[in-house]
Structure 1
Amino acid sequence: MRPNERRLEILALVNRLGLATVEDLSEKLDVSRETVRRDLTALEAAGTIRKYHGGARALDNRSVPDDVESPFDQRMTHNMDGKRAIADAASQLFQRGDTIFIDTGSTTLAVAESLSHIPSLLVITNSPKIAAIIAGNGSSKVFLIGGAYGVEPAESLGPLALEQIAKFRAQHAILTVGAIDAAGVMNFDLQEAEVARAIIDRVETVTVVADHTKFGRRAVFEVAPLSRISRIVTDSVPTREISSAIEAAGASLIIAK
């Protein structure tokens, strides 16, 4: 296949799927990953797609299905006003001296910024960025979980991370999730779900921070039933079905203003 023909095929696949990884495109077209990366660079230069680390997405990504998570860089810029409001509301739930697990996500990064103004916290996280934000106030103690490093997003995952999480106990967990329905909270990535479940096993209260786009979606990997969640902080009231399920499970629903 000639380069121009291959790039047209890549463009068609990305537009049809909404987003595609380098690995998937390499397998579908039977070419090397480096060839795919060069093609994606050329297509982005032509203004026909948008690259992200490890793949590409369509310029109009409304075709991305509900059970697929957007690239992390894209999530970092999505609904930032809502995530800042969530972060401000969530930070008011914690106080000086609290011990908190925080996992990796665009919303938990915003929460970390708000928490950084609270002195003398003890935070355990698998996110180097969150660790740096909290440690920046000079009075808080931070433990950074190690393990296999995932570049997108920047986080530690895998068996080593799970082993280290099991060495801690904390009062609280602040978790981000990929989806919430009337049954529970879920994630799109197996290893991220495993980290979240391991954290939940080591804490007393679980605070989920999630903007309104997470409600009514489904993801492959279950994190926890609603009955194990202490409170959900969001930026908009979810549907009556989900709100009723949260209330019935004994969790608090906090709507950020």
Structure 2
Amino acid sequence: MRLNARRDRIMELLLEQQRISVEELAQRLGASQETIRRDLTELAARNRLRKFHGGAALPDLAGDGAFRPRMVENLEAKRAIARRAASLFGPAESLFVNGGSTTMTLAAELAQREGLTVITNSVAVAQLCSRGKSGATFLLGGEHRHEAGENLGSMVLQQVAGFAPRHAVLTVDGVGAGGIALSDLARAEIARAMMARATRLTVLADATKFGREPLFHLGPLSRIARLVTDRPPPPKLAEALREAGVEVTLAPAAQAAPGAAFAAWHGGDPPHALQPAPDTDPDPLPHGSPKR
């Protein structure tokens, strides 16, 4: 395995496991422990991981607060969603990506795709994307919230207004018949600003977010072009999504396989599930169009 590919795989394994030993890395990557130690030293020098005796861990990008436990909640679902979502974007496309455990997982997948431009307020997302093949990564600066690993506030909002990407790719805390929402005001303000400047909105949400109604509303279901999730929505929500014209793309966690993009639902549509989106988007809608 070539040096860059091996180091990319080290970061992928860290994202999955949070921490890993030199011995396990050597076994899984078919390299000597001395080679792995050199890789870890180099990656640590670039602040991509934190070394400890006998292994390495993810850097404290997201602090020690509530975000860290969320990284391991529903991890297989998030990985499946991330892989499927990343496969939907082609070279030369531009994306807003907000902060969150699901979009951090997405960033590791986007890093493997060539020619993408990613604009984000998340330090972790920016670091993961910038180490890969993406064409350019822009980190929006502002007041840094250590526990979330994100930059927030009026400075970020001003910078969002300077971009007009084709896509906004957002993770949310709730998807219900009334729309999508987040549980934090500052993060909701950033998400709304990204939605307003992008042409097409893709929402990433595992099935645990269905039916939740957090406090800060982002927009109605009709604002969403595509929802990528791990399980079919329940009947009432599926009907609401269908009526709103939302494409639902399924990425079943049980079919997760490293390095593979997930096809949408196979074997026939379950009751009330919507048809999955194709791998390529239709022609762009005019900027500012009410249906994104």
State if a TM-score over 0.5 links the two structures.
yes
**What letter is aligned with 1:105?**
G
Give the corresponding residue for 1:250.
Answer: 245
Cα pair 1:134 1:140 within 8 Å, conserved: no
Question: By how many angstroms is 1:53 displaced?
Answer: 3.9
Alignment of 1:52-131 (within 5 A): 53=64, 71-131=66-126
Cα pair 2:94 2:166 within 8 Å, conserved: yes
Give the corresponding residue for 1:153.
Answer: 148
Aligned-residue sequence identity (percent) comes to 42
The secondary structure found in structure 1 opposite 2:170 is strand
Q: CA RMSD in A?
A: 1.2
Answering whether residue 207 of structure 2 is matched by residue 212 of structure 1, we say: yes
Cα pair 2:117 2:134 within 8 Å, conserved: no
Give the corresponding residue for 2:216.
Answer: 221
Structure 2: tracts of 5 or more residues without a match: 1-62, 253-292
Cα pair 1:208 1:232 within 8 Å, conserved: yes
Give the corresponding residue for 2:182.
Answer: 187
Cα pair 2:141 2:155 within 8 Å, conserved: yes
Q: For each residue in 1:93-125, what CA deviation from the matched residue of structure 2 results, as whole angstroms up to 9, or x when unmatched?
A: 101111000000000011111111111111100
| 4+ aligned runs moved over 3 Å, structure 1 | none
Question: By how many angstroms is 1:139 displaced?
Answer: 4.8
Shift of the 180–99 alpha-carbon distance from structure 1 to 2, 3 Å rule, reads: same
Counterpart-to-counterpart distance in 2, 1:200 and 1:234: 19
Question: By how many angstroms is 1:129 displaced?
Answer: 1.0
Give the corresponding residue for 1:240.
Answer: 235
More strand by share: 1
Cα pair 1:172 1:203 within 8 Å, conserved: yes
- Bigger Rg over Cα: 1
Cα pair 1:86 1:256 within 8 Å, conserved: yes
The secondary structure found in structure 2 opposite 1:107 is helix
Question: By how many angstroms is 1:74 displaced?
Answer: 1.4
More helix by share: 1
**What letter is aligned with 1:191?**
A
- How many residues align structurally? 190
Counterpart-to-counterpart distance in 1, 2:133 and 2:194: 25
